[in-house]
Amino acid sequence: MCGFVGIVASTQVAPELHIALQALQHRGQDCAGIATMRADGHEFFAHRGLGQVPQAIPAEALATLDGPLGIGHVRYPTIGRGLLRDAQPFFFRQPGVLMAHNGNVTNYQELRDSLRERSIHLLSQCDVEPVMCEFADALNLARRTAHTIDDAMQALREVRRRVQGSYSIVAGLMLDGRPTLMVFRDPNGIRPAVLGQRGSGEERAWICASETVALDVLGFERVEEPSPGEALFLRAGDPPIRHAIDQAQRAPCVFEHIYFARPDSMIDERGVYQSRLALGQALAERIASKGIAADVVVPVPDTARPAAAAIAEALGLPVREGFIKNRYSGRTFIMPDALTRISALRLKLNPLRSEIVGRRVLLVDDSIVRGTTLKRVNALLRDAGAAEVHLAIHAPPVLHPCFYGIDMSTEEELFARRFPGDLDALEQQAAAALEVESLTYLPIEAMNRALPGPRCAACFDGRYPQQVDRDQRQSIVEDRRQRD
Ligand code: SF4
């Protein structure tokens, strides 16, 4: 999972990119970068660094990032090691292209080998680099210089033909002699992207970002989500120019609503906070039908709060903060290696004994991937004096790995896969493994009712919207193993 933003305006964009990246910080904390282009397209500037945005791109670096077009990125590695050389945005010298993305290119190795055969070599293990190289190579084959939107479309069709996987991409380059922000998405639109505008006439500026929170902080108005399989060309003061490449069944990632996106974002025309309330309401029905008795509802902060509030309301129970979160420690799930995850949890959550001691706690969390974090959270509750712990998860069991940009374990690491049988049997065995009194998942049918519409839910139902062949799976799994 990563976050991106691109802005084209009539003024300097680097300071606003910096602010937008801070709004997207939850999407990746490994490294961050900003790259800009001068209005004449002759000079490019970039600063990339490790860590969160303020550390990775210090204020003094912003003064060096000149130009009215720029793109920014926060990275959590799904392919590659999370080293500085893997930090985005990337730059290709000829004809001068900046590029960043969110997603996962599933045929990365094949692209790398194919580029090598053409004597084009990669400097990183980041999967947007071969996409950028393919695009630049195809663009230069279309015309050596003075590129047009038609040339870019020809190159994008080539990219579409060669590149597999999920991608929402922003790029900056000169087209028709003008600084142009180019946006394109994979044909299923798996990873999110949203377009916004601000101002009018010649002052009209455009933004494209992973989530609407980046628009909100800068006063941009949300316009639309670029369609899957579509390319948009954006220039300051002009309306967008759109071209279709190809489109398949829309399949936006359902996990954005469950866990990844900020609750104040809007994704797939729907507020993420509302989605989490709906998931909580649906889960409350199942908890009630199982006759689970509790005294207090406690969310695992922060993602589970809306669902916990909805469950408490539906069941007529009080909702309380059972943990105080240390906001200055990292987000455990997206910290890149197992050791960091374990030590980070100790830093992160401190139980609030007054709300827990002697009570039957209904603990609400968004999902279970490996199960290690929840086992430790349960231990924290017991140590703090909870009489019983009943676990409620506002998603179905995660049974399949994600190959589309979410670092969601290999098959053998997925907690729910250890337990055979139907949902009831799985819940009983999983509760015993986590040492809680009961465990209630949201059935997949209930999730589909709460969040209607076409979606990718492959990590729950195994129905992958894009084919990922055995070699590609193996290569992604190997990469994850090396990182853990
Ligand atoms: S497999 Fe799961 S996490 Fe991955 S894109 Fe699909 S719904 Fe999202």
By C-alpha distance, which of 456, 472, 484 is closest to 127? 472
Q: Are 308 and 396 found together in one domain? A: yes
Residue 22's H or E segment, with its range, is helix 14-23
Q: Are 198 and 335 found together in one domain? A: no
Q: Whose CA is nearest to atom 2 of ligand 1?
A: 459
Pocket test for ligand 1, best of 188, 459, 464 (most atoms within 8 A of CB): 459
CA angle in degrees (0–180, nearest 5) for 285-288-292: 140
**Residue 45: CB partners within 8 Å, gap ≥ 6?**
35, 36, 37, 64, 65, 66, 67
Residue 478 counted as domain residue: no
CA of 457 to the centre of ligand 1 (A): 6
Q: Helix or strand or coil: residue 92?
A: strand
CA of 402 to the centre of ligand 1 (A): 5
Note the pLDDT of residue 477. Answer: 74
Q: Are 68 and 216 found together in one domain? A: yes
Return the minimum-mean-pLDDT range out of 277-291, 376-390, 463-477.
463-477
Q: Are 308 and 191 found together in one domain? A: no
Note the pLDDT of residue 323. Answer: 93
Of 251, 281, 296, the last residue of a domain is 251
> What tokens does 21 get?
């990246």
> What tokens does 353 get?
């004994």
Note the pLDDT of residue 341. Answer: 55
Q: Is 144 exposed, middle or buried (0-12, 13-18, 19+ CB in 10 A)?
A: exposed
Residue 86 counted as domain residue: yes
Residue 481 counted as domain residue: no
> What tokens does 371 get?
């199960």
Residue 176 counted as domain residue: yes
**Mean pLDDT estimate for the chain:** 93
What are 432-443's pLDDT values in tens digits? Answer: 999 999 999 999
d(CA 298, CA 377): 12
Note the pLDDT of residue 345. Answer: 67
Residue 260 counted as domain residue: no
- The residue length of the chain stands at 484
Active site positions, annotated: 2
CATH number of the domain enclosing 26: 3.60.20.10
> What tokens does 113 get?
């080998």
What are 328-366's pLDDT values in tens digits? Answer: 765 555 555 655 555 566 678 889 999 999 999 999 999
| Residue 408 CA, closest ligand 1 atom number | 3
Q: Are 142 and 225 found together in one domain? A: yes
Q: Are 232 and 286 found together in one domain? A: no
Cα–Cα distance list, 224 to 236, 272, 275 (Å): 17, 16, 19
Of 251, 279, 309, the last residue of a domain is 251
What are 94-145's pLDDT values in tens digits? Answer: 999 999 999 999 999 999 999 999 999 999 999 999 999 999 999 999 999 9
Q: Are 238 and 289 found together in one domain? A: no
d(CA 134, CA 240): 24
Indicate the number of domains in the chain. 2
Q: Whose CA is nearest to atom 4 of ligand 1?
A: 402
> What tokens does 467 get?
């084919």
**Residue 53: CB partners within 8 Å, gap ≥ 6?**
18, 21, 22, 25, 32, 74
CATH number of the domain enclosing 443: 3.40.50.2020
Q: Are 213 and 329 found together in one domain? A: no
Query: Taking CB atoms and a 6 Å cutoff, what residues make up the pocket around ligand 1?
Result: 190, 253-255, 402, 404, 406, 408, 456-459
Q: Which pLDDT band, with edges at 50, 70 and 90, does 238 fall under?
A: very high
Which residues constitute the domain of residue 108?
A: 3-251
CA of 458 to the centre of ligand 1 (A): 6
Residue 265 counted as domain residue: no
Residue 342 counted as domain residue: yes
Q: Are 175 and 282 found together in one domain? A: no
CA distance from start to end of the chain: 16
Note the pLDDT of residue 226. Answer: 95
Q: Which pLDDT band, with edges at 50, 70 and 90, does 325 fall under?
A: confident
- Is-cis flag, bond preceding 263, omega within 30? no
Pocket test for ligand 1, best of 254, 258, 369, 480 (most atoms within 8 A of CB): 254
CA of 398 to the centre of ligand 1 (A): 10
Note the pLDDT of residue 248. Answer: 82
By C-alpha distance, which of 181, 206, 182, 210 is closest to 196? 206
Q: Which pLDDT band, with edges at 50, 70 and 90, does 259 fall under?
A: very high
Pocket test for ligand 1, best of 250, 255, 444 (most atoms within 8 A of CB): 255
Q: Whose CA is nearest to atom 5 of ligand 1?
A: 253
Q: Are 240 and 276 found together in one domain? A: no
Q: Are 405 and 296 found together in one domain? A: yes
CA of 205 to the centre of ligand 1 (A): 32
Q: Are 239 and 123 found together in one domain? A: yes
Residue 291 counted as domain residue: yes
